[in-house]
Amino acid sequence: MGSSDKLLEFISGRGFRKGWTAFNIIFFLSFIILPTVFILSSAVTDWSDIQEHVLSDPATMDLIISAVVVSFEIAAIVTVIDFVAGLPVAWMMARKEFRGKQFLDTLIDMPLAVPTAALGFSAAIFWAATPNPPPFSLSAISSPMLLIVLLHVVFSYPYMVRSLTAILGGIDETYETAGRTLGASRLTAVRTITLPLFRAGLVTGAILCFARSLSETGGTIIALATLYGRKMVEGDFQTGPTLIGLWKDASVADPTLVPALTFVSILLIILALVLLVVLKVAIMKVRVPLRKVWPSPEKLLSRGLFPKIKDTSAILFLLIVVIVPSFFIFTYVLTGTPSDADWNPFIDALVTSFVVASVVTAIDLATGIPMALYIAKNRTSKLSQLLDVFVNIPLIVPTAALGFSLGLFWNTVDPAAMPPIVLIILSHVAFTYPLVVRNVVGAVEGIDPAYEETARTLGAKPLQSFRRVLLPMIKGSILAGAIMAFTRSLGETGATLAVVANANTAPVFIVNLVNDQSYYLAAMACIILIIISYVFMLLLRRFTREEVV
Amino acid sequence: MPVVELKGVSKRFGKVVASSDIDLRIEDGEYVTILGPSGCGKTTLIRMIAGILEPSEGQVLIGGRDMSGIPIEERDIGYVFQNIALFPHLNMLENVSYGPIVKDMSEEDRQTIPVRYLELVNLLDRMKVFPSALSGGEQQKVALARALASGARLLLLDEPLSALDARVRMDLRYELRRITKDLGLTVLHVTHDQEEAMTVSDRIVLMRNGRIVESNTPEMMYRAPKELFTANFIGETNLLAGVVVENRDDRTLVEVRDGTVVEAQPSKFEPGDAVVISVRPERVHALEEGLNAVVRTMSFMGTYIRITAEADSEDILGFDVPVPRGRDFNIGDNVHLGWSMASALLYPRPPGGIAEAVKLE
């Protein structure tokens, strides 16, 4: 027996596997969940400070309440718009074969390649009525609320379409056909059969969009700074996360802001969690009774011009509201006035961002995959069900609040032990980890355990059956999770700013450039960031395709 | 009223031809089965009638009306799916009520019709149950009730029994025929199971490679198949290659490969014609003289024993003997096989070989 066999024997042993699982669960609980919700304990320990500086200060309270309300309003509007505009496109992707489907598929994913900071700038110069609008821009929107809604639609739209497409593809089309053979028009069949069946997908899509919108910081700050033509101040239009960013920055000089920061973060975290539950229950429980049918109007809408109008407007929406604003920034290359600039700081920031994103992805994969396997393979155990719920928490908590909580946690543990870059990495791990776990859990659950069991009956050790049988089948999903984690980390602003006020990552660098009104430089930085992430995504995409095929 | 007519119907998927130039007429009240191996185009055909697929060429007429461009929901058909497809989010009563509701029937009909059809399939007591709580057979009965409750006079059954257990399948066959005949419906039933086709239908349409091979009553399809493919596909048969040596008025004499001359039905073949003899195992007997063969296998089949024997002509022949007589045979025994002249059918020998002509795919 060679030494590699011995190692295999050891790793396959019951003792090692138990220990490994325990280690990953402990890592998840202590490095991800605990820091994320740590701030809730401040509600108890620092209550007197909060009482003194926040609750008894009407001006601060007003700021907090209005910012939080605005955040939730925007997230709700964005989710509804995404659903209405995304459903027809998801339908086309899942149910129809047409020329250019592949192209549409790529088009939908494109905004995912653009870091939100770059998106915020790009969308803002396209839509907003700025003091010096660039050529071709609409420069029509002066309402900050509307601008932010439009911006958030851009980056949450792909999530909605992806979720809806996935679940639509999973629903047997026979149900709809059966409905039609019974005399239901296409629209009636869709409304009474397919839509009720895909609630689960709707929940996922809605939660993803809602959480993304609620969380978004970098793009929002940039868009508002562009609209105002200056750095944001306290009296401006604020969302929850921008308020955290603003106060965190100011708290370096003015520590009395910390209780207010704590309070906003707690409020955002609790409301987000409550909302997660409410949304889930609302979508799953509300039923439109079958009794209500409108055969003739629905029949009318099922045929002729209407479906064409619906599809065309959905595609136009995708192009005008999602794609063009995402890439409008490229017009800057043609029309901007080049300025002599020192690129070194940006390159430094870029390198930092890539190092962070790579390390984050590596940690996610190393600890997230075992966790996902544990959750997916022990569905009946209480612990697995609990972990499954816990994994979603960092996904729904606004990243700015998460970052602030995490910073607070590690400072409490040991302020000296954590250099800023480690804090940034830990905060990014917290909100990207669920992306890897969710993807892998989904994939593993979709695979018949009989394959692995067969491998075991043929004499494979657990590790071998995983590596040779399961791994090749879930590789695509692992890579998809990795891509999501990587690009999310690369584009993240909110958590970074909230954990370390003067961090030096590429998105933060761009935020600072826009605040200083160095638009040309900001645009160039955005373009470089977009190109790099896009190339990265294409490579990974090609890689995943080859693996899957 | 619902006479179904297909006129020159073809369907192509890219370069694949799923049905080619099909002409078929199904009379009002007739129970027709489309039978064929998987991939023969039978499902494509029924889907074109339902409107789920549009033909590439030709016309589908239901009740004399051209169906081109008419969507599924306006064809007034009942369709039962292989995978059952009861709506999982609705209970049994809601499932069966779906048709009456979406067809905007009167409130009274919406109440009474679903109950009547659930009663017809003996599942009224399960009306509040969701599909997942029922067995496959029960689910398919509800699916039938659902199709009937929509008021359709033409019922399309797309492999309705294939997903069910063998025993349930047998029971449901008779249910299907009884219910549809009681209601006087026109039925088009697609299946790959020849036994199922034989037991339920008034007429079988046998398909292969997108074309209709032959169409006749179950009895005629079994007793007097016009095509070699039919003889092999419906029931079991022994096929022997041979050459006609003499054509008499009352019989044809054929020489098989080892030189033995055997008898077959009277035919129009000329001496020297290459032919295939088809003779069913239950018609082959061990006699004093005949084709010399050696017993190779014996299988107990319940009411009879199936023996296979390798003849000197290199043909493998199956023949059945009653169980008590089966004890007279042992593996390795020499037997002489023969049959009555009337039970041996003759077909021209296909130029591509027998195996090619009866191949299922």
Higher pLDDT, A200 or A326: A326
Convert A362-392 to b/e letters by CB count within 10 Å (16 or more is b): ebbbebbbbbbbbbbbeeeeeebeebbebbb
Of the candidates A498, A355, A523, the one whose C-alpha atom is nearest the C-alpha of residue A427 is A498
Q: Which domains does chain A have, with CATH numbers?
A: 17-548 (1.10.3720.10)
CATH ID of B4-229, from 3.40.50.300, 3.90.280.10, 3.90.1300.10, 3.30.465.10? 3.40.50.300
Going from the C-alpha of A455 to that of each of A81, A473, B329, the distances in angstroms are 47, 14, 45
Task: State the Rg of chain B over Cα.
Answer: 24
User: How near does any CA of chain B get to the CA of A180, in Å?
Assistant: 5
Cβ contact, residue pair B94, A290, below 8 Å: yes
C-beta of residue B239 within 8 angstroms of C-beta of residue B353: no
Whether B102 has its CB under 8 Å from any CB of chain A: the answer is yes
Per residue in A393-427, pLDDT tens? 888 888 888 888 988 888 887 766 678 888 899 99
Q: pLDDT value at position A260?
A: 87
pTM for the whole structure: 0.79
Cα separation, A534 vs A528, in Å, equals 10
Residues sharing a CB contact under 8 Å with residue B344, sequence separation 6 or more, in sequence order:
B262, B263, B264, B265, B277, B278, B279, B283
Whether B94 has its CB under 8 Å from any CB of chain A: the answer is yes
DSSP single-letter state for residue B53: S
Whether B89 has its CB under 8 Å from any CB of chain A: the answer is yes
Q: pLDDT value at position A336?
A: 64
Per residue in B72-122, pLDDT tens? 888 889 999 988 889 988 899 999 999 998 888 888 999 999 999 999 998
On the question of pLDDT at A490 being above 80, the answer is yes
On the question of pLDDT at A338 being above 70, the answer is no
Element containing residue A396 per DSSP (H, E): helix A382-396
Over chain B, what is the mean pLDDT?
92
Which chain B residue is nearest to residue A184, measuring alpha carbons? B102
Q: Is B36 helix (H, G, I), strand (E, B) or coil?
A: coil
Specify the amino acid at residue A371: M
Specify the amino acid at residue A59: A
Q: pLDDT value at position A85?
A: 92
Cβ contact, residue pair B85, A178, below 8 Å: yes
Count CB pairs under 8 A between chains A and B. 82
Per residue in B207-243, pLDDT tens? 999 999 999 999 999 999 999 999 999 999 999 999 9
Lowest mean pLDDT among A253-257, A355-359, A401-405, B56-60: A253-257
User: How near does any CA of chain B get to the CA of A185, in Å?
Assistant: 6
Q: pLDDT value at position A544?
A: 60
Nearest beta carbon to residue A196 from set B52, B71, B89? B89
On the question of pLDDT at A247 being above 80, the answer is yes
Whether B243 has its CB under 8 Å from any CB of chain A: the answer is no
User: Domain residue spans in chain B?
Assistant: 4-229, 236-358
Per residue in B248-288, pLDDT tens? 989 999 999 999 999 999 999 999 999 999 999 999 999 98
Average pLDDT, integer, range B45-63: 93
Which residues on chain B are in Cβ contact (under 8 Å) with A196? 89
Lowest mean pLDDT among A42-46, A214-218, B35-39: A42-46
Residues sharing a CB contact under 8 Å with residue A185, sequence separation 6 or more, in sequence order:
A295, A298, A299, A301, A302, A303, B71, B73, B102
Going from the C-alpha of B217 to that of each of B170, B237, B282, B340, the distances in angstroms are 20, 19, 21, 24
DSSP single-letter state for residue A397: S
Which residues on chain A are in Cβ contact (under 8 Å) with B78? 181-182
Lowest mean pLDDT among A125-134, B23-32, B78-87: A125-134
C-beta of residue A318 within 8 angstroms of C-beta of residue A108: yes
User: How near does any CA of chain B get to the CA of A384, in Å?
Assistant: 26
Q: pLDDT value at position A549?
A: 35
Q: pLDDT value at position B61?
A: 94
C-beta of residue A265 within 8 angstroms of C-beta of residue A244: yes
Question: Scanning the structure block, which residue is given the tokens 């398919």?
Answer: B140
Which residues on chain B are in Cβ contact (under 8 Å) with A177? 52, 72, 79, 81, 85
Lowest mean pLDDT among A349-353, A477-481, B49-53, B158-162: A477-481
Of the candidates B156, B99, B87, B96, the one whose C-alpha atom is nearest the C-alpha of residue B123 is B96
Query: Two tokens at B231?
Result: 């003889």
Of the candidates A37, A513, A432, A493, the one whose C-alpha atom is nearest the C-alpha of residue A239 is A493
Strands B154-158 and B77-80: parallel
On the question of pLDDT at B176 being above 60, the answer is yes
Nearest beta carbon to residue B85 from set A174, A293, A303? A174
Over chain A, what is the mean pLDDT?
83
Model confidence at B325, in pLDDT bands (50, 70, 90)? confident
Lowest mean pLDDT among A187-201, A247-261, A331-345: A331-345
Model confidence at B144, in pLDDT bands (50, 70, 90)? very high
Lowest mean pLDDT among A330-344, B129-143, B191-205: A330-344
Q: pLDDT value at position A521?
A: 84
Per residue in B147-160, pLDDT tens? 999 988 899 999 99
Specify the amino acid at residue B10: S
Average pLDDT, integer, range B56-68: 92
Q: pLDDT value at position B2?
A: 85
Q: pLDDT value at position B1?
A: 62
Query: Two tokens at A302?
Result: 């099922």
Residues sharing a CB contact under 8 Å with residue B70, sequence separation 6 or more, in sequence order:
B51
C-beta of residue A201 within 8 angstroms of C-beta of residue A167: yes
Which chain A residue is nearest to residue B95, measuring alpha carbons? A179
Which chain B residue is nearest to residue A296, measuring alpha carbons? B104
On the question of pLDDT at A196 being above 70, the answer is yes
Average pLDDT, integer, range B327-337: 91
Cα separation, A240 vs A215, in Å, equals 8
Cα separation, B69 vs B62, in Å, equals 13
Average pLDDT, integer, range A93-108: 83
Q: pLDDT value at position A293?
A: 65
Query: Two tokens at B318?
Result: 């199956």
The CATH number assigned to the domain with range B236-358 reads 2.40.50.100
C-beta of residue A120 within 8 angstroms of C-beta of residue A325: no
C-beta of residue B175 within 8 angstroms of C-beta of residue B148: no
Give this complex's ipTM: 0.82
Cα separation, B349 vs B357, in Å, equals 9
Of the candidates B175, B158, B194, B155, the one whose C-alpha atom is nearest the C-alpha of residue B30 is B155
Which chain A residue is nearest to residue B49, measuring alpha carbons? A181
